[in-house]
Structure 1
């Protein structure tokens, strides 16, 4: 049993494998948060609430108990207007213009398993006994609104999810102004805050700082989760490192504008909240209607950042990603984008594919430029028909020529965009997001289709279905290359315009559901200029994401290391590209580029026909090696060993260990050579300390304990951008 309810005290105790989450209903009807942290035995924990009367600036809504002020009470559903001055989770405008609400307890129910969230991606169960869900019902009788808080405990996966549904049970319409998915009140502020931030080609750098009074937040107002901030935040005990210390992780399963924030109040307590960004958001809720928020996945561990990451990796790999390819090794591919950009024909594409087949590559991916009249990025998005100038015999002919060699064939789409220079735009100029009498701001010479409209969604699904059904296509790269401006819809009423961005996300999720379920044998990879929408919402529909448009091996050390904080390696696309690198101009060895790319879903993004014979042999060996180790890379336990965010970024290392600890692979990277440098011993992780291991290429047998606690020696390289690879097997 993962949820214990003490009906006499109305106390609820949620237990995952490592954590307890406890709250209680007070006689006043307020739901009082009691505890979140290391797992406790189930008994009465009411005494964990410590209340005192404060000054009149913290008003008392319960006259008979002046120790209760919502300004100081830890709550499960904080709202504004009746004595809580901190950030609320909910704000609702009622028919009289008031935004004051006060929700009190109505009842609860418990169900086995985890019901799906209507219209939204979420974690799931395959068997009912994998999870249990608690629904707590609250009501504001004056506003005529009820809120159902949902808590799912994945006891074997060691995670708790939270979301809520807002229902209008009154007679008049109301407007939701703020609907965050979760808020957790902590009794102190002795935390470090951790976030993943960056920019296009520089995604998911790790930033850490101590909390101070006030609010720290990460957010997106872009209509997408974005390159700049990731929908994730963590609170950490001071001194926490990779393997030790308490960490609370909060990951939002949503791909649109979001906010995650921590507020430290005057009494040194912390409120962590996350959900849809209330900036420029509003939702009309007519009588009888409901609104569902996305879910937040909460992870607690006392085993440092690696403990948190391992929980997210397993849960997201096994119970967020779906479909045939969730549990299958991913093919080694070659993508033509950096090889040809828009300038190609059928013969050139076939020559790259043929060269790839000779090197053992399994899949060719045709990127941007195969449709409409797409010779540059000025036109044709929305015209998903084959360009017969480039492919005179059609797409099916090219696909058959490549698949006849025994290779799979993949195709690039950007379904959410429209070019002003396109037949679709000329026929339907109102199908893009726009506001009357305002400029239609372009990015990359394109506009955003209005996926809040059913007619737009249906037409995109029709065109994609026609293409995907016309040939034996086994892979799709789904791209999105700009964020929203002039956010408005021609079909929505004035009072509904602030719903557009979220309706877009619901529409996008519908399109992805329809397309991916219609083609279950296609491996879908999401992309947004690389990692601009690397979030849990995308992983629900597509089991992998193009990690970054930056393919430079040194840059990828930070990008892939930071991404691994939350996301499993099986979700990361990683390719070898040409040098000098097209994004940063750096030249690294083919070996180093290969080892970095092999630390993800492996592929190449260059012109294979330009290789020398020596380079061809290196690639042939890389492909062969990856086929041997990819099961371990994609589904093994990932351990971070050396951080590229520390020590001036001179080195990085990580490793993968089999579930039964029978084998492991280790990757070490030295970015900059250092004269007369100290000798380096690399301490490994995750091995069986009682077992002995052989190391490929080295003489002798080493004990697992010695490898972890003593470490292995790495070389003293001459030259920059050095890499080493170790393969261990239990003997």
Structure 2
């Protein structure tokens, strides 16, 4: 079994082929993180031997025990407003305006197979490939309940994390932060690696020693973006590609995200990862539930190369789906860098002929085939073929390329509109903008309101005509 439970000590141990993740519901019901790293096969609670920490504040339950403070204990999912002044994993505003969440152990369940998250991508696995542990925590004073879900895939050396937050009461509760992962590493000296970048220079690795305080990798762009990737690594100072210890956390989410890493007063490290809270506010009505995205966790004692392979295998075999999950993918050629906007039928056919000779499987016709689109300042939204460039129209070009033994693909950006376009002149109200304010443009274009039924009908109609 991958999930082992010591009911007397209330210790939960998750084991993969080479790693162990361990936590404990202590005397007061606080779910404490004990260990994540190489397999030890033993109770790791002995590592948590704290001095007098009365300066940090002690919960009422602990009486005069000055060695017990939520501000220093490694926790599995940290609430706010209860004496832990480190980065919280969850924050909520109750109907009375208070913001405290004191989450304590309530129950647990073990299930065969891997949990799923409604409406969100997540790692999947068969019942013989994974086990799921669900640990339920409840706030001591309100009707907020949090279910922590752990998926264990022993052969992949992967543990997954997500949380479901429920309102069991009648009064609404407003979530202002709901992270997927809270990981407290009580032992060791760590550096961190994050991945930054920009257009045409994506995913640049940067490695730095942790400072005492908070370091952050995040994006509020509405997408995971190439500016900050939603993956971070912790590694020992001596870690290389082939030796040393490292931990990786990857958020399976394409929206705004935040990872905060805090090195606290005792040199302990907390990683909190999930949806960016700056643009997040979610009201939970009576009986409602909010599910966070998933985080993939993996550990390696033999360097970064092993960690990379573990993530690659998990994503390739247990997140990717469909025909090309493991199959060799077709090779395509795209005309963009060869021509930019300056092409005609003759140029495209010349590229196709050379590509077909080399065995390329598909040609994709990129930006510029439609409307008055000779640069990136105009034309978006006017989805009709520019026959000055494509003499004879799109149909003849497609048939000639198919006759060469290749498939044909076409570039299309339905959600965008240029102010210099017939569509915008006819329907400026279709573009998203703040009333009474000048629009903020990106690449000289605006975003269409894709929830508008008229926009949906227009796009369906014009693309049906183009692709007919």
Q: TM-score, normalised by structure 2?
A: 0.93
Matched, 1:209 2:208: yes
Shift of residue 270, structure 1, vs aligned partner: 0.5
Residue 428 (structure 1) shift: 5.0
2: distance between equivalents of 1:52 and 1:265? 15
Name the residue aligned to 1:259: 258
In structure 2, the residue matched to 1:601 is: none
User: Conserved in 2, the CA contact under 8 Å of 1:449 and 1:456?
Assistant: no
Aligned to 2:323: 324
CA contact (8 A) 1:95 1:173 kept: yes
How far 1:121 sits from its partner (Å)?
1.6
- Change in Cα spacing, 1:354 to 1:88, as seen in structure 2 (3 Å) is same
Per-residue CA shift, 1:51-71, capped at 9, x if unaligned?
Answer: 343123333332334432110
Gaps of 5+ in 2: none
C-alpha distance in 2, partners of 1:56/1:198? 41
Change (3 A) 1:460 1:100: farther
User: Structure 1, residues 161-220: CA drift from partner, whole Å, max 9, x if none?
Assistant: 111111222212222111111011111351111111122222222211111211111111
Are residues 166 and 358 of structure 1, via their aligned partners in 2, closer, same or farther at CA, if it must alter by over 3 Å? same
Who is 1:119 aligned against? 119
| 1:224–1:255 Cα contact (<8 Å) kept | yes
Deviation digits for residues 477-499 of structure 1, max 9, x if unmatched?
xxxxxxxxxxxxxxxxxxxxxxx
Residue 152 of structure 1 aligns with which residue?
Answer: 151
2:32 corresponding residue in structure 1: 32
* Cα distance change of structure 1 residues 154 and 417 upon mapping to structure 2, 3 Å threshold: farther
Q: Does 1:168 align with 2:205?
A: no
* CA 1:403–1:165: 2 relative to 1, 3 Å: same
From the superposition, tell whether residues 115 and 449 of structure 1 become closer, same or farther in structure 2 (CA, over 3 Å): farther
- State the partner residue of 2:186: 187
Question: Equivalent residue for 2:280?
Answer: 281
Partner of 1:466: 464
Distance 1:299 1:235, change over 3 A: same
Match status 1:376 vs 2:378: no
Contact 1:198 1:228 in 2 (8 A): yes
Q: 1:107-163: per-residue Cα shift (whole Å, max 9, x none)? A: 1222222232122122212x2212111111112253322111111111111111111
Deviation of residue 465 (structure 1)? 7.2
**Structure 1 residue 457 displacement after superposition:** 8.8
Alpha-carbon offset, residue 326 of structure 1: 1.6
* Partners of 1:426 and 1:113 in 2: CA distance: 54
How far 1:467 sits from its partner (Å)? 7.1
Change in Cα spacing, 1:141 to 1:374, as seen in structure 2 (3 Å) is: farther
What is the CA–CA distance in structure 1 between the aligned matches of 2:212 and 2:197, rounded to whole Å?
Answer: 25
On the 8 A contact 1:257/1:277 being kept in 2, the answer is: yes
**CA distance in 2 between partners of 1:300 and 1:463 (Å):** 50
- Partners of 1:27 and 1:466 in 2: CA distance: 65
* Equivalent-residue separation in structure 2 for 1:133 and 1:461 (angstroms): 43
CA 246–459 in structure 1, closer or farther in 2 if over 3 Å, else same? farther
Q: Could you say which structure has the higher strand fraction?
A: 2
Q: Is 1:131 the counterpart of 2:135 in the alignment?
A: no
Query: SS of 2:37's equivalent?
Result: strand
Shift of 1:253: 1.0
CA deviation vs aligned residue, 1:481-531 (integer Å, no higher than 9, x gap): xxxxxxxxxxxxxxxxxxxxxxxxxxxxxxxxxxxxxxxxxxxxxxxxxxx
CA distance in structure 2 between the aligned counterparts of 1:456 and 1:294, rounded to whole angstroms? 32
> For the residues of structure 1 that align with 2:122 and 2:218, how far apart are their CA atoms?
20
**Which residue is 2:95 aligned to?**
95
Cα separation, 2, equivalents of 1:228 and 1:456: 34
In the alignment, which residue of structure 2 is the partner of 1:343?
A: 342
CA contact (8 A) 1:301 1:308 kept: yes
Kindly state the Cα deviation for residue 246 of structure 1 after the two structures are TM-superposed. 0.2
Of residues 441-450 and 70-79 in structure 1, the stretch that sits farther from structure 2 once superposed is 441-450
CA distance in 1, matches of 2:256, 2:104: 29
Specify whether residues 36 and 349 from structure 1 end up closer, same or farther in structure 2 by C-alpha distance, changes over 3 A only: same
Which position in structure 2 is the counterpart of 1:358? 357
SS at match of 1:438: coil
Are 2:77 and 1:77 aligned?
A: yes
Q: CA deviation at 1:426?
A: 4.7
What does 1:656-675 align with in structure 2 at a 5 Å threshold? none
Shift of 1:412: 1.6
Aligned partners of 1:6 and 1:12 also within 8 Å: yes
Whole-Å Cα distance in 2 between the matches of residues 464 and 15 of structure 1?
54
CA RMSD of aligned residues (A): 2.3
* Partner Cα separation in structure 1 for residue 388 and residue 413 of structure 2: 20
Structure 1 gap segments, 5+ residues each = 471-731
Aligned to 2:58: 59
Matched, 1:301 2:297: no
- Once the two structures are TM-superposed, the CA of residue 450 in structure 1 deviates from its matched residue by 4.4
In structure 1, the residue matched to 2:17 is 17
Within 2, Cα distance between the matches of 1:450 and 1:103? 40
Count, aligned residues: 467
Pair 1:211–1:429, CA change in 2 (3 A): same
Task: Determine the C-alpha separation between the residues in 2 that align with 1:82 and 1:121.
Answer: 33
Rounded to whole Å, the distance in 2 between the matches of 1:295 and 1:383 is: 39
Q: Distance in 2 between matches of 1:254 and 1:66?
A: 41
Distance in 2 separating the partners of 1:229 and 1:67: 39
Q: Give the TM-score normalised by the residue count of structure 1.
A: 0.61
Contact 1:20 1:40 in 2 (8 A): yes
